[in-house]
Chain A
Amino acid sequence: MTIGYWLLADQSKGRGKMKKILIVGGGMAGSIVANGLARKLNKEMNNDLVEITVISATDQHLYQPGLLYLAFGRVRENELYRNQREILDKRINFHVDPAVNIDADNKKVTTESGKVYEGDYLVIATGSRIMTQSIPGLAEEAHQFYTPEGAKEMRDSLKDFKGGKVVVNVNAPHKCPVAPIEITLMLHDYLKENELLEKSEITYTYPVGRVHAMEPVAKWAAPEFEKLGIKAETLFNTKEVDGKTKTIISEEGTKLKYDYLVTIPPHKGAQVVEDSIEGAKGGWCPTDKKKLYLEGKTDVFICGDTTNIPISKAGSTAHFEADTIIDNISSLIQEGTMARDYDGKVFCFIETGKETGSYVWFNYTTPPNPGLPTKAVHRFKLAYNKMYWLSAKGLL
């Protein structure tokens, strides 16, 4: 018997009392947390001292970064999905039953079917959703690649595009902070490859006063855009889109004509979070930035896009946060104390065109410093697109 196993059995009222871990959300964050805990608590699970349950809205797991490639017809949709049950450790209970209420005080979750799930520890990893409809005219006029349906529609509509004014419109807040630059550069390459570049003009709009939130990325991207003839309109927060005149208008008063409008839509957290969790404005849970628990509740953890931490909403953020939560919940169960802090680490690949890529990483104390684009990084990114499934299984 390990020390951790002995402590668990000894600390419980009544030896061998089972600890239940309930995870809401079967995306990247929820899957990594579930599989990582199953690995760290292997002996406890095998001895029925720990039970892990995942509740998800769907039985399919989508590799979301792949949607960028789907929008250009470079991958097929079915390459982006895996069966969620097969991703999870077989000892984990898995239920496809969307959550309709989360009672954080009592760690109880009510689902669409009317069932109530309880846990000693609760992990909320319900992700984010696009809010294209929150800006008048945007949903009707703009193409987007943040959903499979949107990415396929963009792929098909691009085939009909014969050249003209292209506007890539970025809104706040959004998931995947480098996606706006990636889609812009990939659009440029697409138009060039299809001999439409001479007949087209790309304008990129961004909410703050430079072309990217990260200053080093902006310093790299701005001259890159200039070199490629891509115009940038900064301090542009979308007010409305007028489909009749094909004009997009900003809160700052700028008007831009377009023939083909691509949007990085504003996002919100899950509706169930917005409705259930006190203080979760916009569906973002008030989260301790180091321990990753819901403010005031040390046995309810928040992972991935669902946090309100002022940090990138990205897959790598979810991954690094998940590693911290796995260590802390397993340590709480085995040793009665949390193990470590999350340091704010984020790592992002940046596709800088069809054949080159770069990357950037940072944390709470180290500012970002992107590397020079190379073919090698692009090839590694393509390899990671396949390796993702090992991450979701908690093996990478």
Chain B
Amino acid sequence: MSERTLIDARGANCPGPMMELIATLKLVDIGDEIELLSNDPGTASDVPTWCEKVGHKLISKTKTDDHWVLVVSRSK
């Protein structure tokens, strides 16, 4: 059964949400999910583009009042 890891990267100026996602993907098993919280507008567009390029699966992207919630599944 897949696990889900939460990264609350709201307010993370450095290394930032995308870098946290990349680092955490290395630590989880294939099929596991990462839930990334970010208030950086760039992340909302960068993460889907990167996932498509590398081959990880973007499960969902949701906008709340003040941040995005992106769920990514490690695919390889």
Closest CB in chain B relative to A291 CB, distance in Å: 15
Count how many pairs of residues, one from A and one from B, have CB atoms less than 8 Å apart in the complex. 78
Q: Does A252 contact B (CB under 8 A)?
A: yes
Question: B5, B9, B14, B53: which has the most chain A beta carbons within 10 Å?
Answer: B14
Known: A207-B22, A281-B5, A281-B27. A312 touches B53 (CB 8 A): no
On whether the beta carbons of A311 and B54 are closer than 8 Å, the reply is no
**B interface residues, tally (CB under 8 Å):** 26
Q: Does A16 contact B (CB under 8 A)?
A: no
Could you say which of A7-15, A140-148, A361-369 contacts chain B? A361-369
Binary flags per residue of B12-53, CB closer than 8 Å to A gives 1, else 0: 111111111011101110000000000000100010011001
On whether the beta carbons of A213 and B14 are closer than 8 Å, the reply is yes
On whether the beta carbons of A208 and B46 are closer than 8 Å, the reply is yes
On whether the beta carbons of B5 and A312 are closer than 8 Å, the reply is no
On whether the beta carbons of A208 and B18 are closer than 8 Å, the reply is yes
Among candidates B16, B20, B28, B50, residue contacting A214 with C-beta atoms closer than 8 Å: B16
Closest CB in chain B relative to A251 CB, distance in Å: 5
Among candidates A173, A289, A346, A362, residue contacting B19 with C-beta atoms closer than 8 Å: A173
On whether the beta carbons of B14 and A214 are closer than 8 Å, the reply is yes
The chain A residue sitting closest to B23, CB to CB, is A173
User: B residues within 8 A CB of A177?
Assistant: 14-15
On whether the beta carbons of B53 and A252 are closer than 8 Å, the reply is yes
User: B residues within 8 A CB of A266?
Assistant: 23, 26
Among candidates A173, A251, A310, residue contacting B17 with C-beta atoms closer than 8 Å: A310
Binary flags per residue of A156-197, CB closer than 8 Å to B gives 1, else 0: 000000000000000011000100000000000000000000
Closest CB in chain B relative to A348 CB, distance in Å: 9
Binary flags per residue of A241-257, CB closer than 8 Å to B gives 1, else 0: 00000000001110000
The chain A residue sitting closest to B22, CB to CB, is A172
User: A residues within 8 A CB of B18?
Assistant: 207-209, 213
Closest CB in chain B relative to A294 CB, distance in Å: 16
Q: Does A86 contact B (CB under 8 A)?
A: no
Among candidates A134, A252, A312, residue contacting B15 with C-beta atoms closer than 8 Å: A312
Q: Does B7 contact A (CB under 8 A)?
A: yes
User: B residues within 8 A CB of A289?
Assistant: 8
User: Helix, strand, loop or mixed for chain A's interface?
Assistant: loop
On whether the beta carbons of B50 and A209 are closer than 8 Å, the reply is yes
Q: Does A73 contact B (CB under 8 A)?
A: no
Among candidates B12, B19, B54, residue contacting A208 with C-beta atoms closer than 8 Å: B19
On whether the beta carbons of B14 and A346 are closer than 8 Å, the reply is yes
On whether the beta carbons of A172 and B15 are closer than 8 Å, the reply is yes
Binary flags per residue of A337-377, CB closer than 8 Å to B gives 1, else 0: 00000001010000000000000001011011000000000
Closest CB in chain B relative to A264 CB, distance in Å: 12
Q: Does A150 contact B (CB under 8 A)?
A: no
Closest CB in chain B relative to A91 CB, distance in Å: 37
User: B residues within 8 A CB of A207?
Assistant: 18-19, 22
User: A residues within 8 A CB of B54?
Assistant: 237, 251-252
Q: Does A282 contact B (CB under 8 A)?
A: yes
Known: A209-B46, A251-B54. A312 touches B14 (CB 8 A): yes
5 A-B residue contacts at CB 8 Å?
A207-B18, A209-B49, A213-B14, A253-B53, A344-B11
Extra 12 A-B pairs, beta carbons < 8 Å, given A214-B16, A252-B50? A134-B26, A172-B22, A172-B23, A209-B50, A235-B50, A281-B24, A281-B27, A281-B28, A282-B23, A282-B27, A310-B17, A368-B14
Binding site for A on B (CB under 8 A): 5, 7-9, 11-20, 22-24, 26-28, 42, 46, 49-50, 53-54
Binding site for B on A (CB under 8 A): 134, 172-173, 177, 207-209, 213-215, 235, 237, 251-253, 266, 281-282, 289, 310-312, 344, 346, 362, 364-365, 367-368
Query: Top 4 A-B pairs ranked by shortest CB distance?
Result: A173-B23, A310-B12, A213-B15, A213-B16
